[in-house]
Structures are given as C-alpha cells and as structure tokens.
Amino acid sequence: MGFRRKEINLSQKTWSLRHRALKPLALANLSVFFEWSNWLRDAFGSRFISFLLNPSIILSFFFFISCSSEPVSTVNPLANRGKQIYMANCISCHSPDPRQDGPLGPAIHGSSKELLEYRLLKRSYPPSYSPKRPSTLMPRFEHLAGDIEALTSYLNE
C-alpha cells in the first residue's frame, strides 16, 4: 500500500476557514433575532406581528415619515445669504443669536438698513439714532457694502 498525496485547493481552504470563523457570529445574530421575534409573538400575538412585517405597512410607514406638512421652500434666499454674512462677520462680537447681547456688541435684531449702512461703512450712527452702547470698538466692514440688503433681511426676520 502506498501513500496517496493529498492535493489542497488553497482558495477553497481559505474560504472554508473564513466560513468556520464567521459561522458562530452569524448563528449568534440569528439566535438573537429569533429570540426577539418569539418574544414579540408571545407578547402581541402572531397576527399582529405578521401585520407589522407586511411590506406594504412598512413602506407606508416610511412614506408618511418622509412627508411634511410644511411648504417645501419657506426660507427667503436673501435672508439665508444675510445669515451666512452674519455668521461669518458678526458673531465674534455680537451673539450668534441676533436677539441677544454679545460679549462686546448689543443685540442687533430689527436693525434698520440705514443703521447698518452707517455702522458698517462709516463707523458712526445715523443722526436721529440714540445708540444702545456708545462705543467706537466696531471696525468698518466696507467689503459688505453690497450685502447690506441681505443682512437687513436676516436681522428683520
């Protein structure tokens, strides 16, 4: 009797080893799922569970979640641009919420276009305006001359 040489296909051997390593993990996940489904069946009854797992019920649930009662576009694009300008230039001194006082600057919600033009471009106040905090800390923002309308729209929302 001679000894036979056994040939091994390495790709099959590798797959077999991986399969053996993952099998306990897959079985553990399945056992948890079946335990959970058995508990639901015992708690609520098999008809209720089959009703919940009906594909049309699941699709309807996701459809109603995705629906909204609000109109699709409620944001004013000019005010959205103003918010971006405010967040980029103003929140270091004024509060991120324009209705609240900031660490250096006052609340500026409801500011008029005239006030914004004077403060941003001239570092002064309009003639008929009495300031909340008379200070000269605020620098000029001449680069925002074309964006004052958007900033006014955001601050008066």
In a domain, 5, yes or no: no
pLDDT of amino acid 72: 45
Q: Is 108 helix (H, G, I), strand (E, B) or coil?
A: coil
pLDDT of amino acid 3: 52
Q: Are 60 and 81 contained in the same domain?
A: no
Q: Are 54 and 85 contained in the same domain?
A: no
For 72-115, how does the pLDDT look when each residue is reduced to its tens digit (9 = 90+)?
A: 445 689 999 999 999 999 999 999 999 999 888 899 999 999 99
In a domain, 70, yes or no: no
Tell me what the mean pLDDT of segment 42-51 comes to: 65
Kindly give, in sequence order, each residue whose CB lies less than 8 Å from that of residue 129, ignoring residues fewer than 6 positions away.
Answer: 115, 118
C-alpha 92/C-alpha 127 separation (Å) is 27
Q: Is 147 helix (H, G, I), strand (E, B) or coil?
A: helix
In a domain, 123, yes or no: yes
Phi-psi region of 107 (alpha: psi -120 to 50; beta: other; left: phi over 0): beta
For 113-156, how does the pLDDT look when each residue is reduced to its tens digit (9 = 90+)?
A: 999 999 999 988 899 888 877 777 889 999 999 999 999 999 99
Q: Are 88 and 110 contained in the same domain?
A: yes
Kindly give, in sequence order, each residue whose CB lies less than 8 Å from that of residue 104, ignoring residues fewer than 6 positions away.
Answer: 93, 94, 137
Instruction: Name the amino acid, one letter, at 144.
Output: L
Q: Are 91 and 136 contained in the same domain?
A: yes
In a domain, 95, yes or no: yes
Where in the sequence is the domain holding 58, given as residue range(s)? 14-65
> In terms of pTM, does the model score above 0.75?
no
- How many independent structural domains does the chain possess? 2
